Amino acid sequence: MTAAPLLSIRDLSVDFVTPRGRVQAVREASLDVAAGECLAVVGESGSGKSQLFLACLGLLAARGTTRGSACFRGQELLGASPAALNTVRGTRIAMVFQDPMNALTPHLSIGRQLGEVLLDRGLASPQQAHERSLAALQGVGLADAEARLRQYPHELSGGQRQRVAIAMALMTRPELLIADEPTTALDVTVQAQVLQVLRRARRDGLAMVLITHDLGVVAGIADRVAIMYAGRIVEIAPVRELFAAPAHPYAAALLEAVPRLSEASVGRLRSIEGQPPAPGEIVQGCAFAPRCPDVTAICRREAPALRPGATRAVACHVPRIRPEPDS
Amino acid sequence: MSDPLLQVSGLGVRFPARRRRFGAAPQWLTALDDVHLEIEAGRSLGVVGESGCGKSTLARAILALVDPHAGEIRWRGAAVRRSDPAGLRRMRRELQVVFQDPFGSLDPRMSIGESVAEALDALEGLTESAAVRARVAAVLEEVGLDRSLARRYPHELSGGQCQRAAIARATVVRPRLLICDEAVSALDVSVQAQIVNLLSALSARHGMALMFISHNLAVVRHLCDEVLVLYLGHVVERGPRESVFSTPRHPYTRALLAAVPEPDPASAPATEPIDVVPGRAGAAPPDRGCVFQSRCPRADALCASQSPALVEAGPAHVTACHHWQAPEAWPVGPR
Amino acid sequence: MSEGGLWSEAARRLRTNRAAVVAGGVLVLLVLASLLAPLASRHAIDQVDWTLSPLASPPSLANGHWFGTDSNGRDLFVRVWSGTQVSLLVAVLATLVSLAIGVAWGATAGYLGGRVDDWMMRFVDVLYALPYMFFVIILTVVFGRSLWLIFLAIGAVGWLTMARIVRGQAMALRQREFVAAAITLGLPAHRIIARHIVPNVLGTVVVYATLTVPQVILFESFLSFLGLGVQEPLTSLGRLVAEGALEMETAPWQLLVPSAVLALLLLCLNFLGDGLRDALDPRTD
């Protein structure tokens, strides 16, 4: 990594205090997002992928605590005051969620909500806000932008709402967009349109973190992929390298478990036996050990650390491919 | 040649639209229009489509949870009607369902053992006894759950385990046809694969037919012998799996297949892909002509005036498109 | 049908709510006192103590009248506790009656929907519109002031709100997939209502019931205040308050003591009801 990363996360842990005791949602996660790149964060339920980024933006639920560091362009985000976070949230880092209705206020028109993003922060005059709102809607491929500005969220379909949410996120021309399962709730044809919008947004140099469980979506848009399991990052690699030759057994198993359209595959899907540990479970050693086909004695004793290499990092005692050391 | 298990002909289902002016004629929302399908014993049919296509309504109509306003449903040759409770009871012993939400489909106040036993009670009239407990334990093991989980409640189990319990409840009476309404859509990828394998195994072991409703084309390709594509309540294509997936004959099917992102960076488009199917699913169907005309790049005057009938485009492969024989206008090719 | 899972979970949550636990404890003490005190005391509820002059005497440990006496010289300690007994009895029985009718009515209307629901709920609406107070007064005038009549009258009206609440819950439950699953198992409507709808509304019902009991006690007190409550020699907290109010200036303890017990009872029931609602709501984290 030659240039300084845009977002640098080091040993970030997220804990929740529940009546049943302490639950570790994220354990010592470390990763970088470079300017202009698209990093996909892949994991199943309980992997902690959403909590990781909610923690960075100070959006955790009340009972969550964080440890570690998350630096955005040198500014520490963890533990920062709400005022300090607000200089970054929504302006330089934007977030889009799975359900666009979370971002859109039902009783305000689209135009009003888009305009507020700029007007509230004093970033533009009302006239400028209107023009930029129009441009934003056109930029996400919504036809008839002028009419759309007057509409209300409930008058739009799910895909259209999501595109408005993305437009809102991009209004302040942020440097980083964090998208948490943005297309999971959408039909596949609508998903294709929304992904296209995201690809187009990247052309202007926008960096993106795409949180998803869908490996197909990852393949079409990501530069690098981070795979999370039970709160830990288990592998980070460039997308082609990961799909061609995954190093971590979980990554390999996940790729094999995904049914593909292109194969006339008949017979059993290669599934992973068992299930991920429950959120509060204390794990001894590697969390994937009970399900891992390559498990050895050391895996059950010691949790592997994320070992960085030249292009990829793996957290495994017996990776299928040993990452070349950084020279 | 015995009767097919399930025969649906000309099925139409509509719902009253929300707003009704006092005294005005009722407005209808057509969920399904002129749907034909057949499922033979031991075979599996995949029903695909996006939101608003009517696939869940189709499942509910077949299960006699809603009344069709047109057409008929035949189970093993006998007509199915909600007004015929005895006939319905016979059908329910042989036709069961697994729903999408694993937690929602089990009563939160009953242990999963009780939920499974309820199926035996309702469909075979067996009340609580050692024999019932044994059968419950046996079917739980068959779906991959430890028999000790019979005492657990849904909120204590994971999504995958709950879905297995739901499958146990549905299959304990050995139905001839199992309808899976988005049964794996709410599950993680690794668990999805387990459940798909389980359904496949159960189907093979007991000769059970499957009707697999899903928006996930890859899973359907893996699991089903035949595929049916729905758009806004109309059947637009139907045929054997390989035929439909390798040579789709309807523009909507082609668009659906093209839109599915493949987990393979090498096959991802290097250049900007063409706008795939402008417009959105779920819009109101047009009054006349082909139901897909508003989004089809090849729609012409014929499409606007005449609704295409299902025509044969290959062995056992039908499509509802006037122009299915013309060379494709889109560069997006079949897979 | 064993209900282990969710109820024990709720019980555990309730135990962590200190206010509810304390309230529950105090409530148990009050109930025990109301049952045992009249037995333990050597005064009867209508026994006049002629040794006192004036007859109405303030609370004192010396003469054995710990709460004092009323204007007729009857021991207030015994009267307050047996009055509490009566108030609780009326409240609990009336609530049970309204619960039984309300749950059955609401669950059936909500589940069946359509015309049946329309008719059943219009009936409820009509009853709601009746001037309840006049209805009870007419009943008591016609049938006399018996204890059974009181709680029947209260219960007969209390079920209306319960029915509305349960109907709303039943309508929501009807959309859940486990109800669709039960229908596809071929279960008839009455079994679905009994086995699947009612157990799943019990959480709300229990909470609402604990909040209804104070309302019923207050209502009974109000009836007593009007002179329509329980007959002599039985007494209730409401009657005592009514009688005490008349002597407020000369013998304030006659008002203060029953009022204090009444207030404490209502407070405990409300805290407990709040705690139950929080405990039974599965949405907390």
* pLDDT over 60 (residue B40): yes
**Can you say whether residue C156 is alpha, beta or left, with left for phi > 0 and alpha for psi between -120 and 50 degrees?**
alpha
pLDDT of residue B98: 96
* pLDDT over 80 (residue A81): yes
* Helix B112-124 / helix B130-142 crossing angle, nearest 10 deg: 110
- Reported ipTM: the value is 0.84
Identify the top-confidence range among A304-308, C37-41, C212-216. Answer: A304-308
Alpha-carbon torsion angle A185, A191, A195, A197, nearest 10: -100
pTM for the structure as a whole: 0.85
Task: Name residue A10's beta-bridge partners.
Answer: A69
pLDDT of residue B333: 40
Instruction: Give the pLDDT mean for B213-217.
Output: 90
The bridge status of strand A207-212 relative to strand A176-180 is parallel
pLDDT of residue B19: 60
- CA-based Rg of chain A, rounded to a whole angstrom? 21
pLDDT band of residue C2 (cuts 50, 70, 90) is: very low
Interface of A with B in 183-222 (CB under 8 A): 187-193, 195-196, 199-200, 213-221
C-alpha A215/C-alpha B192 separation (Å) is 14
- Burial of C149 by CB count in 10 Å (0-12 exposed, 13-18 middle, 19+ buried)? middle
Q: Which residue of A has its CA nearest to B219?
A: A259
CB-based contact B261 A195, cutoff 8 Å: yes
Q: Any alpha helices (H) in chain A, and if so which ranges? A: 49-56, 82-88, 110-119, 126-139, 145-150, 158-170, 188-203, 215-221, 239-244, 249-257, 297-301
Instruction: Give the pLDDT mean for A19-28.
Output: 84
* pLDDT over 80 (residue A61): no
CB-based contact C199 B105, cutoff 8 Å: no
The conformation of residue A154, written as its DSSP 8-state character, comes to G
CB-based contact A219 B335, cutoff 8 Å: no
Instruction: Give the pLDDT mean for B285-297.
Output: 81
What is the Cβ-side half-sphere exposure of residue A272, based on CA atoms within 13 angstroms? 25
The conformation of residue A271, written as its DSSP 8-state character, comes to P
* pLDDT over 70 (residue B272): no
Q: Which residue of B has its CA nearest to C177?
A: B105
Collapsing DSSP to helix, strand or coil, A166 comes out as helix
Q: Which residue of B has its CA nearest to A269?
A: B193
- The helix (H) or strand (E) run that includes residue B251 is helix B251-259
**CB atoms closer than 10 angstroms to residue C115:** 8
Q: In chain C, where are the structural domains located? A: 4-45+62-280
- The overall average pLDDT reported for chain A is 87
Q: Which of C85, C87, C84, C40 is nearest to C64 (CA)?
A: C40
Collapsing DSSP to helix, strand or coil, B71 comes out as strand
Structure tokens at B120: 């035996």
Interface membership of B276 toward A (CB under 8 Å): yes
**Are A12 and A78 a contacting pair, CB within 8 Å?**
yes
**Are A23 and A16 a contacting pair, CB within 8 Å?**
yes
Identify the residue with better confidence: B261 or B62: B62
What are the b/e assignments for C156-185, b being 16+ CB within 10 Å? bbbbbbbbbbbbebbbebbebbbbbbbbbb
> Percentage of residues in chain C with pLDDT exceeding 70?
96
Q: Which of C186, C187, C199 is nearest to C107 (CA)?
A: C199
* pLDDT over 80 (residue B175): yes
**Are C255 and C105 a contacting pair, CB within 8 Å?**
no
C-alpha C193/C-alpha C179 separation (Å) is 9
Q: Please, what is the end-to-end C-alpha distance for chain C in angstroms?
A: 27
pLDDT tens digit sequence for A143-186: 788 888 999 988 888 888 898 999 999 988 899 999 999 988 88
Q: Which of B273, B276, B271 is nearest to B251 (CA)?
A: B276
Q: In chain B, where are the structural domains located? A: 250-264+282-335
Instruction: Give the pLDDT mean for A185-191.
Output: 83
Residue spans of beta strands (DSSP E) within C150-250: none
Angle in degrees, CA B146, B150, B151, rounded to 5: 125
pLDDT of residue C3: 47
Q: Which of A67, A48, A82, A60 is nearest to A9 (CA)?
A: A67
C-alpha A257/C-alpha A234 separation (Å) is 17
Q: How far is C282 from chain A (nearest CA, A)?
A: 13
| DSSP assignment of B323-335 | TTTSPPSSS----
Partners of B123 on chain C (C-beta within 8 Å) are 185-186
- The helix (H) or strand (E) run that includes residue B159 is helix B159-171
| DSSP assignment of B108-119 | TTS-HHHHHHHH
Interface membership of C47 toward A (CB under 8 Å): no
Structure tokens at A160: 């259209």
Domain C4-45+62-280: which CATH class?
mainly alpha
Partners of C285 on chain A (C-beta within 8 Å) are 16, 18-19, 63
Instruction: Give the pLDDT mean for B175-203.
Output: 92
Q: Which of A26, A22, A24 is nearest to A56 (CA)?
A: A26
**CB atoms closer than 10 angstroms to residue A146:** 12
Partners of C284 on chain B (C-beta within 8 Å) are none
Q: How far is C182 from chain B (nearest CA, A)?
A: 8
Helices and strands: H and E segment counts in chain B: 10, 12
- CA-based Rg of chain C, rounded to a whole angstrom? 22
pLDDT tens digit sequence for B80-92: 888 888 888 889 9
Collapsing DSSP to helix, strand or coil, C135 comes out as helix
- The overall average pLDDT reported for chain B is 86
Q: What is Dmax (Cα atoms) for chain C? A: 78
Structure tokens at A279: 């959120």
C-alpha A110/C-alpha A129 separation (Å) is 12
C-alpha A274/C-alpha A289 separation (Å) is 11
pLDDT of residue C154: 77
* pLDDT over 90 (residue B143): yes
**CB atoms closer than 10 angstroms to residue B197:** 19
Length of chain C: 285
Please state, in angstroms and as integers, the Cα–Cα distance from residue A50 to each residue in A29, A198, C62, following that order: 12, 19, 72
pLDDT of residue C142: 81
How many pairs of residues across A and C have Cβ atoms under 8 Å apart? Answer: 7
**Residue whose entry in the numeric block shows the structure tokens 């229009």:** B33
Interface membership of C8 toward A (CB under 8 Å): no
| DSSP assignment of C22-62 | HHHHHHHHHHHHHHHHHHHSSS-TT-B-TT-SSSS----ST
pLDDT tens digit sequence for A104-120: 888 999 999 999 888 88
pLDDT of residue B211: 96
> Which site among C6, C178, C285 would you substitute to test the B interface, given the most B Cβ atoms closer than 10 Å to its Cβ?
C178
- Burial of C18 by CB count in 10 Å (0-12 exposed, 13-18 middle, 19+ buried)? exposed
pLDDT band of residue B330 (cuts 50, 70, 90) is: very low
Angle in degrees, CA C87, C92, C95, rounded to 5: 120
C-alpha A225/C-alpha C161 separation (Å) is 56
**Can you say whether residue B76 is alpha, beta or left, with left for phi > 0 and alpha for psi between -120 and 50 degrees?**
left
**Are B198 and B229 a contacting pair, CB within 8 Å?**
no
**Residue whose entry in the numeric block shows the structure tokens 């135990």:** C15
- Burial of A320 by CB count in 10 Å (0-12 exposed, 13-18 middle, 19+ buried)? middle
C-alpha C273/C-alpha C144 separation (Å) is 34
